[in-house]
Amino acid sequence: MKTCIACGMPMKDPAEFACGDTNKDYCVHCARPDGSMQSFEEKRTGLTAFIVKTQGFDETVALEAAESMMKKLPAWMAYF
Ligand SMILES: [Zn+2]
């Protein structure tokens, strides 16, 4: 089983892969509408907004949480 390099989500079903392509290393949530992988900035912004919405954290705390999650993921390690 593969794990998304950009968010850590396990991917089993082709529908969970970007473009339904099981050769891709990232999931449908980390892909842009054109199928390419989101940038570091896009992912950080999206993840921060997601944490604010789901955890009710304020933006500063959510940004820190997003960055600490991203630090552990192969796609973003080089950014820290
Ligand atoms: Zn992902």
Q: Give tens-digit pLDDT for 27-53.
A: 999 999 999 999 999 999 999 999 999
Q: What global pTM score does this model have?
A: 0.89
SS3 2: strand
The residue ranges of DSSP E strands in 6-75, in sequence order, are 10-11
Look at residue 57 in the predicted model and tell me its pLDDT: 97
Contact 73, 66 (CB under 8 A): no
Distance 38 CA to ligand 1 centre (A): 9
Q: Residue 12 is encoded by which pair of tokens?
A: 């089993």
Q: How far apart are the first and last CA of the chain?
A: 27
Q: How far is the CA of 60 from the centre of ligand 1 (A)?
A: 22
Ligand 1 center–CA 57 separation, angstroms:
21
